[in-house]
Amino acid sequence: MSLRELLNDVSNIIFPPQCLACAEMINQPAKQVFCCACQDKIHFITDDFCPICGIPFLSSPAGSHICGNCLENDPYYIQARAVAGFETVIMGAIHKFKYSRSISTGNALGLFMAGFSFPDFDFSGYSLFIPVPLHIKRLRERGFNQSLLLAKEMGKKHNLPVNFSLLKRCKSTLTQTGLNKAEREKNVKGAFVIADRKKVAGENIILIDDVYTTGATLNECAKVLLEAGAQKVAVLTLSRVTEKHA
Ligand SMILES: [Zn+2]
Ligand SMILES: [Zn+2]
């Protein structure tokens, strides 16, 4: 047994692993971050979604097709995919992770995200992960960037580098909560800059974030990266708001 495994075992005795959503004890902590009851409530997005933005069609009999939003405004990113819907279990875990400054919850959610297969996504076409950055003011308040914790686990799993200093948030934007799509787009316009254009040129980039809401922030990031010479940009998020808009 390695020292790391030993320390892990000891910490599991002192702090028994708990479900990230309901705090129930977990039997197989190496494999699970949610208890079975919570895991069953998660809506994994595996089929019947828009091939561009990834919105699932929950009750549509039409199966996968390009949604109305993407037909109207083709996004800058090539495709966006999420692990699961932004519903009770995932929402609770993300809130805990962000607002109680729980880095261990963040790492566990990173493992959860990295363990998902993203069924139609071809990782071999990409060269770099970039987490959506926080403004320095927000980073000071929160103490860490939640997207970077997710990106780190994705980088390990898919054997791709993670760069958290190439894309910077230069404008401290208002919270996006309560804003509609057009207001969100206006709010994030000009909020991001590239620190080193040479390092972006020719790269095939996967942007990582915790939640895809309207996609305004992620689309703005993709736009800035493409303008700096990136070859293509895709988006992977832990969760996605799934209100019907198709
Ligand atoms: Zn649970
Ligand atoms: Zn779409």
The DSSP code for 66 is -
Ligand 1 center–CA 90 separation, angstroms: 10
Whether 25 and 110 share a structural domain: no
Whether 113 and 24 share a structural domain: no
Ligand 1 center–CA 25 separation, angstroms: 8
Single out the residue of 235, 217, 224 nearest to residue 181, CA to CA. 217
Ligand 1 center–CA 19 separation, angstroms: 5
Ligand 2 center–CA 123 separation, angstroms: 20
In which residue are the tokens 């875990």 written? 93
Type of residue found at 208: I
Average pLDDT over residues 106-135: 94
Average pLDDT over residues 169-177: 79
Residue 246 domain-assigned?
no
pLDDT digits (tens, 9 = 90+) for 25-49: 887 766 788 999 999 999 999 989 9
Whether 122 and 135 share a structural domain: yes
pTM for the whole thing?
0.90
Who surrounds ion ligand 1 at CB < 5 A?
Answer: 19, 21-22, 24, 35, 38
How many Å apart are CA 74 and CA 50, to the nearest integer?
12
Half-sphere exposure of 34 (CA within 13 A, CB side): 20
Whether 108 and 12 share a structural domain: no
Residue 131: give the domain boundaries.
Answer: 44-240
Residue 245 domain-assigned?
no
Whether 37 and 50 share a structural domain: no
Q: For residue 217, give the 3-state DSSP assignment.
A: helix
Q: Is the pLDDT of residue 14 over 60?
A: no
Residue 234 domain-assigned?
yes
